[in-house]
Each structure stands twice: as structure tokens, then as C-alpha cells.
Amino acid sequence: MFKSRVFTLYPDYFPGYLEKGLFGKAMKEKIWSLEIVDIRNYAEDKHKTVDDTPYGGGDGMIMKADVLARSLDKNLPQDEKIIYLSPKGKIFDHNCAKRFSEFESINFICGHFEGIDQRIIDSRNIEEISIGDFVLSGGETAVFVVLDAILRFVPGVLGNVNSSKNESFENGLLEYPQYTKPQIFEQKGVPEVLLSGDHAKIKDWRLSQSEAITRDRRPDLWEKYKKTKKN
């Protein structure tokens, strides 16, 4: 079973849509699990304070190191992977999702305010991950994105084992266009090659479409792909 755990100030956000559809079915079948830890429960003062002003001054508040440390230390076995969703982290991508899916268990810290005390990040060997160059009101939204991407690689979660192999980014390219019934829609048909039954031609067409779309929309991916083809 792939185990995931989320440390958050807003436990009611979860499991959200992760208990629906294929993810929900896989959860019921114990292919993966989700545990939610309320960080606020580990504050020891009567007001359940989880944040304080930053040393050195500045705007905003910082999540308190002692409170977060207690929530982690009382719930985590040693050496489990911990990820902090942070705008200053490494960009999360397809390969990162595959790498994380290979862990037996993974833990997420949802940041708030201006972030968390750096000493927690350093002492617990926490990996910082960002889902993009923008700022969210909290890490919960990012956790949904990251977990969604990871779970698609966990064996047994997707109904079709080939689905994740044929998606965008799997071979370094964006996905080719897809079509389904009806064959004629708003006076537009389907590319003839897809009706030919010639699987070799269909494969070549899909590759050419993926290459064209990637070259046009993601020059950065196209340059990487060209280097891969040369090797």
C-alpha cells in the first residue's frame, strides 16, 4: 500500500475529490491511504497558537518551529520522505511525480503565512517542492495537485495500466490530439489515418502530431527532446 500523510492547519479540506472516482476506489481497495494530521493540535498554549512574528522583522507571520516539530515527530516513523510545498522549492514535474510514487510512504507539509521556520526544513531533511511560479494562500491546493500526479503512477490506481504511459510528458512530448464518436461533429470529421486500421501509420501520425504541438507550445521541452533523440 502506498501511504500518504498531510500535515495541515485545515484538515477539513481533505480528502476532497481524492475519495472520488478511481482514486476513491483505489483507496477503498487499500491500494493507497491518506492520513490527515491537524498541526494546530500540537500547539500547547490555550489559544492554540501556530504562528509568530519573524526574527529580523518583516511582513507576515511564520509557522512556529516547536509546534510543527511536535506534529511531525509524534506522527512520523523515522526516515519517511517529507515534502514541504513551497514557492521557493524545486519545480514539480512528471519525472518528480514518478520518483515520489516509488516511495512506500510520503508526507506533505502545507505551509501558510510567510512559510515555516528554516530550522525545521534543515533538521528534518525536508524537500521543498513548488508547483509553479506563483503564490497560493496555502499548501493544501498544491498537495492535491502533487498527490493527483503521483497516484497515477501507483500500481493499481488507474484502471488502464497503459494510460499513464501514453500521456503528455511520458516521452518528453505533449500528447497528440484525441477523437471519439460521433465521427462527424459540427460538420467536422476525424483524421482519415485514425480510421484506417493501420496501426503503424497511426503511431507515426500521433508522434508527428506530438512533435508539432510540443515544438509550437513548449520550445523548452522540444529542445530537450531533440537532445534525447540525438543520443
**pLDDT value, residue 59:** 86
Rounded to 10 deg, the angle between the 94-101 and 139-151 helix axes is: 70
- pLDDT category at 114 given cuts 50, 70, 90 is confident
The Cα-based distances of 61 to 31, 52, 64, 84, 117 in angstroms read: 38, 5, 9, 17, 10
Any domain includes 192: yes
166 pLDDT more than 90: no
Any domain includes 86: yes
Kindly state the average pLDDT of the residues 143-165.
85
Domain final residue pick, 124, 151, 178: 151
Residues 136 and 172 in one domain: no
CA–CA dist 194, 205 (Å, integer): 9
**pLDDT value, residue 139:** 95
Share above pLDDT 70 across residues of the chain, in percent, rounded to a whole number? 96
178 pLDDT more than 70: yes
Q: What average pLDDT does the chain have?
A: 93
Kindly state the average pLDDT of the residues 104-123.
94
Kindly state the average pLDDT of the residues 75-88.
92
Any domain includes 49: yes
**Widest CA span of the chain, in angstroms?**
71
Residues 112 and 44 in one domain: yes
Residues 130 and 182 in one domain: no
Q: Which residues contact 103 (CB under 8 A, 6 or more apart)?
A: 2, 81
Kindly state the average pLDDT of the residues 126-130.
96
Any domain includes 96: yes
What is the 8-class DSSP label of residue 46? T
The CATH number of residue 212's host domain is 1.10.1270.20
Count of domains forming the chain: 2
**What is the residue range of 215's domain?**
168-230
Residues written for the chain: 231
Q: pLDDT tens-digit profile of 43-60?
A: 999 999 999 999 998 889
